[in-house]
A and B are shown apart, each in its own frame.
Chain A
Amino acid sequence: MNYNDFALVAKSITKDYGANRALDNVDLFLDYNGVHALLGANGAGKSTLMKVLAGIVNEYEGQIYLNGKEIKLTSPHAAMAHGIGMVHQELSVLPNITVAENVYLNRFPKTKLGTVDWNKLYDDCTKILESLGLSIDPRMMLGKLTVADRQMVEIAKVLSMNPRIILLDEPTSALSEMEIQRLLELIRTLKKNHSIVFITHKLDEMLAVSDKITILRDGKLLDTIDVVDKTNPSEKELVSKMIGVSSGDLSEMFPQKSKETGEVILEVEGLTNKGVYEDISFNVKKGEVVVFTGLKGAKRTEVMRAVFGADPFTHGTIKVRGEKLKTVTIQNAVKSGMAMVTEDRKGEGIVPLMMVKDHISMSTISESARAGFINKEKLGEKAKTYVDKLKIKVHSINDLITSLSGGNQQKVVLAKWLAANPDILILDEPTRGIDVGAKIEIYKLIRQVADEGTAVLVVTSELPEAIGLADRLYVMFEGKMIGELSEKDIDTDKIMHMMFGQRIGE
């Protein structure tokens, strides 16, 4: 093959982390224009391959050719200079400076005096945000934005550097349906004169925009397939290649819903935080899976955080087992049997320096202790149980959490709360960044804990997930409760209307 015919060729890339081979002799051929998708289970090596191309991982074996010439990518800076830009799976933008500063970090426009030209900075930023169809104020502190908006800022940041090759590592995992469509539209435009690598666990997205799909399994290259149209290759074919066994029918992705539910265990009435959300009432019964859906900005996360005691609210009551919680703090919520998996994994879920086993027992450490002293065996056993149960890919329970792939980190965070055997389990975007195989397992797990009597609240923006999981469903729009649908009333059209703020029957 002539390497000149490709924008970039990665040849025989091998990367070891200690004794763990993350990439094993992988080749990747990127066309000058077009979208090349990477598919693989959690931990397959997708992010690692991207990091090699972005100069972040710079100790590896193999060669990289840009326009036919071999190059050395020794740092992110070098990669950028070669026109390679990467949007990371984990958010890497800085919360304590403005949006514009994030976008143009280290590349601020200057005045004649050499000081920062703030007006130009904000103008430039507004332009680039608008070109992405975003109405974010560039003067805003980034930390005030939702996860979805931060993700878009991260994309804006990379695009502002005018790269030739754009690496997108799960850019859609934090976005809601509408934003995803917008991003896919943007990718379609960009691919006309850019070479794009696109990682996603959502097959429909992948088939919608990609021209080629490369499948990785356990660090090895399995196959590169041309995409003919949206249904060729089929999702089924892709999944079976990726997991290695022929998977059952994808329509069986969601387990049977529960037939019986118990009494109401959590009841929220008139919950209000002036200016954020107003008069939110809902309840959950034992053994029931209740889904909260809506567009981003619907304030579902904010409501859940308030119920869990993480943020204050101005009015309203929260009753658990019929009893009103007097002071709503996280400790009291946990004592009353609540647990919450947050949506911002990096910021609120993991402690980078801690081992997998310590994470799993983070909320329940007292159970593995007597009089304050930890029983190491018990703690280790518990960790092992959950590593097996959730099929978390680790080499040992002593691995640092940061050495796991994104999807596996998410599983560890889930395990932390499952270990607490909660009566009320709140899951905010629980399958974010999780591969199809693991998703099915997590759906099973959700149903299993519900069948054991736990009340489960799931916040999700993915419609198929919402519909597939819900015994009952609430839809919110811009801080207001739009309505409630029981199992038999759930239907895509209805939900779509409600998501845009229309009450049913109006």
Chain B
Amino acid sequence: MKTNAAKRNKIDIVAITPVLFLLVLVIFYSVSTNNFFSITNLINIGRQISITGIMAIGVTFVILLGEIDLSLAVILSFSGMIVSGLSLGRYFGMNPMPVWLCIIITLIIGALLGAIAGFANAKLRIPGFMATLAIMYMSKGLMLMLTDAQPLFGLPKQLTYWGSGYLFDSIPVIIVVFLIVFVAASIVLKHTVFGRNIYAIGGNAVAARMSGINVVKYKIIAFVICTTLSALAGILMVGRIGSGQVTAGEGLDMQPIAAAVLGGTSLMGGKGTVWGTLLGVLIMGVLVNGLNMLGAGTEVQSLATGFVLFAAVAFNMAVSKKNA
């Protein structure tokens, strides 16, 4: 009995603290501003965090392996340009394609980029940091060649629907997509063989290999999941800003990674959850949104985000050290 109680307490501190912190933030903003705790603003926050959230969930898979993906933001921009251009028939003298086909092609290209990075990492043993940095530069190059850095306007409604449309005239589609990705990812990580093997590999790749786990295959799949979700985020982004922009991903390179780590995912691999990542994304989103409502500028928002990251990770380290 005592064991259970002791265990529960231990787990609680780690899991509950981010939730408490989020609650404190929400209460503070609700009291100190007029409009923070309104349906409109809450939905607004949801829309703001969906894109980072989807990327953060993707990169969680890679971080769980003890690797990192630096190509997220560029893949987002690149996919946005691909999907926009294809739907308008701008490339290689092709005719405009149906939107569903454009989306599928874009996701496949996103997946391919991840497969290359994963192959480079798992098979050629290039550190994920370098492999994805290379992919990042290549994607950027290809994107600029393809588009001449020109924005694309006049996109079909069916395309922008995913980023700016509403379900039943009230629920933003983008939030629904985010939630679906979240639920799917948490099921995959928690309840499937694939998910458990990701944790095993991240915890000790040699032991996993010696247990007969196909480490190369799982690593590649993890990178594919990560970049495909970035491509999906790119498609949603096009809808949110209403045009294809080569600069769409600016400022999003590190944000998803920060959110995942804020949510307790260890950069050393083997430890973390999507639920934690969701909390990380929410904390960062709410923090910035509330500051905005208080009239604070980007400089204050940036400073505050930095402080929160610092404190949260220091806290996580202190707790895990104590439990060790």
Chain A positions within 8 Å of B, measured between CB atoms, are: 18-20, 310, 330-331, 333-334, 340, 342, 347-354, 358, 362-363, 365-366, 369, 372-374, 376, 395-396, 416
Per-residue interface assignment for chain B, residues 106 to 146, with 1 indicating a CB less than 8 Å from any chain A CB and 0 otherwise: 00000000000000000000000000000000000000000
Cβ-based interface call for B207 (8 A): yes
Stretch of B54-62, B153-161, B168-176, B187-195 that contacts chain A:
B187-195
Q: Which residue of B lies closest to A309 (CB)?
A: B212
How far is the CB of B193 from the nearest CB of chain A, in Å?
5
Assess the B210–A330 pair: CB atoms within 8 A: yes
Nearest-Cβ distance from residue B86 to partner chain A, whole angstroms: 33
Question: What's the Cα separation between A475 and B151 when bound, in Å?
Answer: 73
Additional A-B contact list (5), CB under 8 Å, known A358-B199, A358-B200, A373-B191? A18-B7, A19-B2, A347-B207, A372-B192, A372-B194
* A351 & B193 in contact (Cβ 8 Å cutoff): no
Chain B residues contacting A353 (CB-CB under 8 Å) are 199, 203, 270-271
Contacting residue for A351 out of B10, B191, B194, B203, CB 8 A: B203
Cβ–Cβ contact A331 & B204, under 8 A: no
Query: A372–B218 Cα gap in the complex (Å)?
Result: 14
Closest chain-B Cβ to A367's Cβ sits at a distance in Å of 10
Which residues of B sit under 8 angstroms from A19, Cβ to Cβ? 2-3, 6
Q: Considering the complex, which residues of chain B in the window 37-95 have a beta carbon less than 8 Å from any beta carbon of chain A? A: none
Q: How far is the CA of A334 from the CA of B212 in the complex (A)?
A: 6
| A340/B203 in contact, CB under 8 A | no
**Chain A residues within an 8 Å CB radius of B270:** 351-354
Chain B neighbourhood of A395, CB < 8 A: 3
Interface residues of B (CB under 8 A from A): 2-3, 6-7, 10, 191-194, 196-197, 199-200, 203-204, 206-214, 270-271
Q: Please name the residue on chain A nearest to B10 by beta carbon.
A: A18
Shortest CB-to-CB span from B26 to chain A, Å, is 32
Q: Which residues of A contact B208 (CB under 8 A)?
A: 351, 362
A365 x B197 contact (CB < 8 A): yes
Given A340-B210, A348-B207, A363-B211, are A369 and B10 also a contact pair (CB < 8 Å)? no
Q: Report B185 CB to chain A, min CB distance, Å.
A: 14
Which residue of A has the minimal Cβ distance to B197? A365
Q: Which of A340, A347, A362, A366 contacts B206 (CB 8 A)?
A: A347
Q: In whole Å, how far is B201's beta carbon from the nearest beta carbon of chain A?
A: 9
A358 contacts across to B, CB distance below 8 A: 196, 199-200
24 A-B contacts, Cβ less than 8 Å apart? Answer: A18-B6, A19-B3, A20-B3, A330-B212, A333-B212, A347-B207, A349-B207, A350-B207, A351-B199, A351-B207, A352-B204, A352-B270, A353-B270, A358-B199, A363-B212, A365-B196, A366-B193, A369-B192, A372-B192, A372-B194, A374-B191, A376-B191, A396-B3, A416-B211
Check B211–A362 contact: CB distance below 8 A.
yes
Contacting pair A373 B192 (CB below 8 A): yes
**Cα–Cα distance between A330 and B7 once the two chains are bound (Å):** 37
Instruction: Tell whether, in the assembled complex, residue B193 and residue A369 are in contact, meaning their CB atoms are under 8 Å apart.
Output: yes
A/B pair count, beta carbons within 8 Å? 78
Measured between alpha carbons, how far is A331 from B218 in the docked complex, in Å?
A: 13
CA–CA, A349 to B210, complex, Å?
8
Q: Which residues of A contact B7 (CB under 8 A)?
A: 18
- Give the most central of B2, B203, B214: most A CB within 10 Å: B203
In the complex, what's the smallest C-beta–C-beta distance from A430 to chain B, in angstroms? Answer: 15
**Contact present for A354 and B6 (CB under 8 Å):** no
Measured CA separation A101–B203 after assembly (Å): 26
Query: Given A19-B3, A374-B193, A395-B3, does the pair A351, B210 have CB atoms closer than 8 Å?
Result: no
**Option from B191, B192, B200 in Cβ contact (under 8 Å) with A362:** B200
Cα–Cα, bound, A344→B27 (Å): 52
A352 to B194, CA, bound (A): 19
* CB contact between A374 and one of B196, B204, B207 (< 8 Å): that residue: B196
Alpha-carbon separation in the docked complex, A276 to B211 (Å): 24
CA distance A310 to B205 in the complex (A): 13
Per the bound structure, the CA–CA distance linking A334 and B196 in Å amounts to: 19
Measured between beta carbons, the chain B residues less than 8 angstroms from A334 are: 212
Chain B residues with CB under 8 A of A374 = 191-193, 196
A342 touches B210 (CB 8 A): yes
Nearest 5 CB-CB pairings of A with B: A351-B203, A334-B212, A19-B3, A351-B204, A353-B270
Set of chain A residues within 8 Å of B3, measured between Cβ atoms: 18-20, 395-396
Residues of the B chain whose Cβ atoms lie less than 8 Å from the Cβ of A351: 199-200, 203-204, 207-208, 270
- Chain A proximity of B53: nearest CB distance (Å): 24
Kindly provide the distance from the CB of B318 to the nearest chain A CB, expressed in whole angstroms: 15
Residues of A within 8 A of B210 (CB): 310, 330, 340, 342, 348-349
A375 to nearest B CB, angstroms? 9
- Given the known A-B contacts A18-B3, A340-B210, are A350 and B204 also in contact in the complex, defined by CB atoms under 8 Å? yes
Which residues from A are CB-within-8-Å of B213? 362-363
Of all chain A residues, the one with the shortest Cβ separation from B266 is A353
A330:B209 contact, CB within 8 angstroms? yes
- Return A405 CB to nearest CB of chain B, in Å: 16
What is the minimal beta-carbon distance from A307 to any residue of chain B, in angstroms? 13
Q: How many angstroms between the C-alpha atoms of A362 and B209 in the bound complex?
A: 10
* Max chain A C-beta neighbours (<10 A), residue from B3, B194, B207: B207
B-chain residues with CB within 8 Å of residue A365 when the two chains form the complex: 193, 196-197
Nearest CB in chain B to that of A374: its residue:
B191
Chain B residues near A352: list those with CB within 8 A: 203-204, 270
Residue of A348, A351, A358 contacting most chain B CB atoms (<10 Å) = A351
Contact between B206 and A348, CB atoms less than 8 A apart:
yes
Shortest distance from the beta carbon of B7 to any chain A beta carbon, whole Å: 7
| Interchain nearest-CB distance for A364 vs B (Å) | 9
Chain A residues, Cβ within 8 Å of B197:
365
CA distance A205 to B270 in the complex (A): 39
Q: Contacts A369-B192, A373-B192 hold; do A354 and B199 have CB atoms under 8 A apart?
A: yes
Q: How far is the CB of A230 from chain B (nearest CB, A)?
A: 39
Which residue on chain B has the smallest CB distance to residue A352?
B203
In the docked arrangement, what's the CA distance between A353 and B10, Å?
Answer: 15
A374 and B193 CA atoms in complex are apart in Å by: 6
Minimum C-beta distance from A490 to chain B (A): 30
Residues of chain A within 8 A (CB-CB) of B271 are 353
Please give the distance in Å from A355's CB to the nearest CB on chain B.
Answer: 10
Query: Using Cβ atoms and an 8 Å threshold, which residues of chain B touch A348?
Result: 204, 206-207, 210
B202 CB to nearest chain A CB (Å): 8
Please name all residues of chain A whose beta carbon is closer than 8 Å to the beta carbon of B192 when the two chains form the complex: 369, 372-374
Q: How far is the CB of B8 from chain A (nearest CB, A)?
A: 11
Q: How far is the CA of A366 from the CA of B203 in the complex (A)?
A: 19
Residue of A nearest to B1 (CB): A19
Among B10, B211, B271, residue most surrounded by chain A Cβ atoms (within 10 Å): B211
Q: Bound complex: CA of A366 vs CA of B214, how far in Å?
A: 13
Contacts of A331 in B (CB 8 A): 212, 214
What is the CA–CA distance of A374 and B206 in the complex, to the nearest angstrom? Answer: 23
How far is B2's CA from A366's CA once the two chains are assembled, in angstroms? 34
Q: Give the chain A neighbours of B207 by CB distance below 8 A.
A: 347-351, 362
A350 closest partner in B (C-beta): B207
**Closest-CB distance, A3 to chain B (whole angstroms):** 32
Q: Shortest beta-carbon distance, B225 to chain A, in Å? A: 14
Q: CA–CA, A19 to B10, complex, Å?
A: 12
Q: How far apart sit A349 and B197, CA to CA, in the bound complex (Å)? A: 15
Tell me the complex Cα distance, A129–B298, Å.
61
A354 touching B214 in the complex, CB below 8 Å, given contacts A362-B208, A372-B192:
no
